[in-house]
Amino acid sequence: MQAVSANRRVLSGNEAIAHAAWAAGVELASAYPGTPSTEILENIARHHPDVYAEWAVNEKVAMEVAIGASFAGARALTTMKHVGLNVALDPLMTFTYIGANGGLVIVCADDPGMHSSQNEQDNRTLAKFARVPMLEPSDSQECYDMTLEAYEISERFGTPVILRTTTRINHSSGIVDLGDFTRKPRGDRAYEKDMTRTVMVPMFARRQRVALEEKLARLSDYSEKSPLQRIERGGKTGIITSGISYQYAREAFPEASILRLGMTFPLPKTLIREFAASVDKVYVIEEGDPYLEEQVLAMGVDVRQPEISLRIGELSPDRIERLAAEVHGEAPLKPKEAVGNLPARPPVLCPGCSHRGVFYALNRLKATVLGDIGCYSLGAFPPLSAMDSIVCMGASIGNAHGMQKSGSRDAGARVAAILGDSTFFHSGITGLLNIVYNRGMSTVIVLDNRTTAMTGHQQHPGTGRTLMGQESVEASVEEVARGVGVKRVRVVDPYNLEETFDVLKEELDSSEPSVIVSKRACVLSLKAREIHQFSVDLDACKACGACLKLGCPAIEITDQPSPNGKGRKVRINPVLCVGCGMCAQVCKFDAVKEAVSP
């Protein structure tokens, strides 16, 4: 039994990192929201207003802001999901040559299994590629402890440090002992002008390139002796592991000896060799790429490679138990089977979602739609079926331009790009300028719902409010579009289906570039919902199915057959309906009526 104290709390990995950033004396935190990293900055803003925290327009800018603070001698934090580091890699690759003045920690949250992502890239490779020391916590307590340690490493060695997490670390909770939980006072690091260290022209960069390798050698020594590396002595089977994989391995192999690596770049090669020599056989248990395995193999250590592959998708206790059965020469465990043939419950566009009207029109126009990252990816699915591609943040605009310029006739005459307001500000503006400059003619539709909906309603430049709650300039998509030279800028209300259809048709058929801003607030962010609702007059309903093409979860098929017996009539679930009125507009029989308020 543990003593109960106020500083022992159940915290998610993200909450623990936020508290640790405060305790480490972080002065500035800058990030763009991205699952599973988003709650780190939200928790800093909520609990620690003495830390300056901001939503940057994208991860590259966030990284550059954090680097600026480090230049100035302040401790800085930037957080991002794994694909965010692709965007921010450019400044990072050169900042490693310069090195940190004030401590700089980059939280990189990978998403094995793609719970909420478009790929499952394993960013441990990027830490090695960029030559950034990397720590991998295995639970919330370590998220707290390792964030503190990361700042010490950063300032001691003059390097940014990556704290690499995964969804199961960020979003799982455990008990965290926050210790005395006080904030470290600001250090005495000053900004000192030194062009040989910070101006990366070739003559200085070549010198810093050599210095970086020397720094890595010192970091390797630290990695060998660091308490972040831990050996748990057991039997003659040895396991090398890190991060969440350690937890599954510890439970599935209670008798094994385990080398748990808390710092996975640079690797402690002597420690690994000594550990391997102390056991009969060595297994590497890791989620994702063979990052550890390949390096350990390259050291000449005889790593056993089991039949069961751990490479694709998220690891789980089940997968590691099956591995344990193989290692112990036991019969393969039979996978537990789910009850078959149950109706699926997929995520759907919410009732009253402002994106629905645009997708409904695009479907009718049979347009080829290059899509983007956000809730609106759900517009790809039936019955709306109005999105053809998703690549990365902002890709829709370049994709549409390339398709239009390629001269291909297969895509049809109507090609559009579609993306949200936050995504447009993140990385859509440059693509739009490219269309105008290169005499393109694509139509770009910005679904402007005045929030970053998918990650849980964060502020962005278009909302007129900052992360810390201050009022700010409300950036206008229309003005930005006009500013980069778009002549045809239209604004539509997506709740008005006829207007939306007409404007979309006109712009898709125009031979000039155009921007259509579909403007309606996200229904989930409305504080007081309008009380009016709609209902179906079952006598008037002909069961034609027109309203079902909207894909609204509030519209439900009843047991009542139509007069000709071919279809079934519908009703509107009053618990779900928010009164957008789109179904009333598509009903040809006037069967959908505004319900009388109770």
Partner 1 sequence: MDKILNVTLVGVGGQGTLLASEVLCQVALASGRDVKKSEVHGMAQRGGSVVSQVRIGDKVHSPLIALGETDVLIAFEKLEALRHAHFLAPDGVAMVNDQEIRPVTVSSGQAEWPNDLDGMLRSAFPKLELIPALAVARELGNVRAVNLVMIGALSTHLGIDDSIWRESIAALVKPQFVELNLKAFEAGKSAVTACG
CA-to-CA distance for 282 and 284, rounded, in angstroms? Answer: 7
Cβ(137)–Cβ(269) below 8 Å: no
* Shortest distance, position 277 Cβ to partner 1, whole Å: 26
User: Using the rule CB under 8 A, is 321 a contact of partner 1?
Assistant: yes
Candidate segments 65-73, 127-135, 244-252, 274-282, binder of partner 1 by CB under 8 A: 244-252
Nearer CB in complex with partner 1: 405/549: 549
Among 8, 273, 482, 505, binds partner 1 (CB under 8 A): 8
CA-to-CA distance for 360 and 418, rounded, in angstroms? Answer: 13
* Shortest distance, position 252 Cβ to partner 1, whole Å: 9
Among 214, 302, 307, 337, binds partner 1 (CB under 8 A): 337
Candidate segments 195-203, 234-242, 316-324, 489-497, binder of partner 1 by CB under 8 A: 316-324
Nearer CB in complex with partner 1: 174/494: 174
Among 154, 423, 449, 455, binds partner 1 (CB under 8 A): 455
Cβ(485)–Cβ(440) below 8 Å: no
* Shortest distance, position 216 Cβ to partner 1, whole Å: 32
Helix (H, G, I), strand (E, B) or coil at 471: strand
Cβ(17)–Cβ(144) below 8 Å: yes
> Which two structure tokens, joined as six digits, stand for 153?
């490493």
CA-to-CA distance for 246 and 262, rounded, in angstroms? Answer: 10
* Shortest distance, position 401 Cβ to partner 1, whole Å: 28
Among 49, 68, 235, 317, binds partner 1 (CB under 8 A): 317
**Crossing angle between the packed helical segments 356-364 and 497-508, to the nearest 10 degrees:** 50
CA-to-CA distance for 60 and 93, rounded, in angstroms? Answer: 12
> Which two structure tokens, joined as six digits, stand for 448?
């402007």
Residues in 358-387 at the binding interface with partner 1, rule: CB under 8 A = 375, 378, 382-383
CA-to-CA distance for 224 and 270, rounded, in angstroms? Answer: 7
Sheet holding 134-135, edge to edge: 52-55, 28-31, 76-81, 104-110, 161-166, 134-135, 263-265
**Strand 257-261 relative to strand 230-232, pairing:** antiparallel
CA-to-CA distance for 444 and 396, rounded, in angstroms? Answer: 8
User: Using the rule CB under 8 A, is 243 a contact of partner 1?
Assistant: no
User: Using the rule CB under 8 A, is 310 a contact of partner 1?
Assistant: no
Among 185, 329, 346, 469, binds partner 1 (CB under 8 A): 346
CA-to-CA distance for 536 and 595, rounded, in angstroms? Answer: 9
Residues in 39-98 at the binding interface with partner 1, rule: CB under 8 A = none
* Shortest distance, position 463 Cβ to partner 1, whole Å: 20
Nearer CB in complex with partner 1: 176/446: 176
Helix (H, G, I), strand (E, B) or coil at 204: helix
User: Using the rule CB under 8 A, is 593 a contact of partner 1?
Assistant: no
Instruction: From residue 541, give the alpha-carbon distance in Å to each of 338, 437, 535, 547, 574.
Output: 39, 51, 11, 11, 17
Nearer CB in complex with partner 1: 139/421: 139
Instruction: From residue 182, give the alpha-carbon distance in Å to each of 7, 14, 18, 20, 145.
Output: 11, 19, 13, 10, 14
* Shortest distance, position 296 Cβ to partner 1, whole Å: 23
Instruction: Tell me the per-residue interface mask from 535 to 574 with partner 1, x by CB under 8 A, - otherwise.
Output: -------------x--x-x-xxx----------x----x-
Give the bridge partners for 163, in sequence order.
107, 135
> Which two structure tokens, joined as six digits, stand for 61?
């800018």
User: Using the rule CB under 8 A, is 414 a contact of partner 1?
Assistant: no
Nearer CB in complex with partner 1: 412/574: 574
Cβ(338)–Cβ(350) below 8 Å: no
Could you write out the DSSP letters of every residue in 525-559?
A: G-SS----EEEE-TTT-----TGGGG--TTEEEEE
Candidate segments 69-77, 263-271, 329-337, 585-593, binder of partner 1 by CB under 8 A: 329-337
- The closest alpha carbon to 62, from 37, 96, 91, belongs to 91
Number of residues forming the site for partner 1 (CB under 8 A): 58
User: Using the rule CB under 8 A, is 578 a contact of partner 1?
Assistant: no
Residues in 115-144 at the binding interface with partner 1, rule: CB under 8 A = 115-116, 139
Instruction: From residue 220, give the alpha-carbon distance in Å to each of 1, 134, 351.
Output: 39, 11, 55
* Shortest distance, position 249 Cβ to partner 1, whole Å: 9
> Which two structure tokens, joined as six digits, stand for 125?
């490779």
DSSP letter assigned to residue 32: -
* Shortest distance, position 416 Cβ to partner 1, whole Å: 23
User: Using the rule CB under 8 A, is 6 a contact of partner 1?
Assistant: no
Cβ(106)–Cβ(92) below 8 Å: yes
At residue 104, φ and ψ (nearest 5 deg) are -130, 120
User: Using the rule CB under 8 A, is 232 a contact of partner 1?
Assistant: no
Nearer CB in complex with partner 1: 13/513: 13
* Shortest distance, position 514 Cβ to partner 1, whole Å: 30
Instruction: From residue 131, give the alpha-carbon distance in Å to each of 95, 158, 443, 472, 534.
Output: 10, 13, 42, 38, 59
* Shortest distance, position 317 Cβ to partner 1, whole Å: 4
* Shortest distance, position 355 Cβ to partner 1, whole Å: 12
Nearer CB in complex with partner 1: 276/550: 550
User: Using the rule CB under 8 A, is 251 a contact of partner 1?
Assistant: yes
Nearer CB in complex with partner 1: 516/555: 555
User: Using the rule CB under 8 A, is 2 a contact of partner 1?
Assistant: yes
Handedness of CA 258, 253, 16, 426 (dihedral sign): positive
Candidate segments 152-160, 323-331, 337-345, 475-483, binder of partner 1 by CB under 8 A: 337-345
* Shortest distance, position 476 Cβ to partner 1, whole Å: 28
User: Using the rule CB under 8 A, is 454 a contact of partner 1?
Assistant: yes
Nearer CB in complex with partner 1: 16/98: 16
Among 94, 118, 125, 172, binds partner 1 (CB under 8 A): 172
* Shortest distance, position 522 Cβ to partner 1, whole Å: 12
Nearer CB in complex with partner 1: 164/569: 569
Binding site for partner 1 (CB under 8 A): 1-4, 8-10, 35-36, 115-116, 139, 167-168, 171-175, 244, 246-248, 250-251, 316-318, 321, 335-339, 342-350, 375, 378, 382-383, 454-456, 548, 551, 553, 555-557, 568, 573
